[in-house]
């Protein structure tokens, strides 16, 4: 299975589950949504950021493209799953809700995956770079103690 598909399915299911849970709570307790909405968005952003940071830290190949394509696929898939989940579990939502879920909802979900994933990839890459610097041998250090990376140029001659 391609890595982008794993990320797309995981994030789509997570986003759809959060949207359906929020709709279910809204149906029974409409006044308790503000704090819960903020917490759910923080969990969704944190999941994308943490997963992508782990990808960068572990050195997963082609991770940037995997997260980009995964975010683009997760948007519409999450919208579809949200409409199905609301129809089955909450309030018998009909096909009329599918259009907005596949346009504006999908775009919002894609951005809610893509932006934290980009930040996570940057942070994970920095952490992986720091780990490489710390693992350099003592003989590979400058006078000020910073690690020297070997030169990638070929010697003249």
Dump pLDDT digits (tens) for 123-150. Answer: 998 887 766 545 454 445 555 555 555 4
DSSP state of 100: H
Distances (CA, A) of 109 to 18, 44, 78, 156: 11, 10, 7, 53
What are 15-71's pLDDT values in tens digits? 999 999 998 888 888 777 888 899 999 999 999 999 999 999 999 899 999 999 999
Per-domain boundaries in the chain: 3-133
Report percent pLDDT > 70 for the chain.
82
Kindly report, residue by residue over 62-105, the tens digit of the pLDDT.
999 999 999 999 999 999 999 999 888 888 777 888 888 888 88
Q: Taking the mean position of all CA atoms in its chain, how far away is CA 20?
A: 19
* Cα–Cα distance measured from residue 153 to residue 157, given in angstroms and rounded to the nearest whole number: 12
Residue 103 dihedral angles phi and psi, to the nearest 5°: -110, -85
């Amino acid at each position: 299975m391609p890595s982008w598909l794993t990320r797309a399915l995981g994030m789509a299911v997570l986003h759809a589950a959060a949207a359906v849970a929020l709709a279910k709570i809204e149906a029974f307790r409409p006044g308790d949504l503000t704090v819960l909405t903020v917490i759910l968005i923080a969990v969704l952003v944190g999941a994308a950021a943490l997963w992508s940071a782990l990808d960068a830290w572990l050195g997963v190949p082609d991770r940037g493209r995997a997260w980009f394509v995964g975010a683009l696929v997760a948007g519409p898939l999450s919208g579809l799953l949200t409409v199905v989940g609301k129809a089955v579990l909450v309030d018998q939502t009909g096909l009329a809700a599918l259009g907005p879920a596949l346009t504006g909802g999908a775009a919002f979900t894609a951005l809610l995956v893509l932006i934290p994933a980009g930040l996570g990839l940057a942070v994970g890459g920095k952490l992986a770079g720091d780990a490489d610097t710390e693992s350099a041998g003592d003989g590979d250090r400058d006078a000020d103690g910073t690690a020297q990376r070997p030169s990638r140029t070929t010697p003249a001659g």
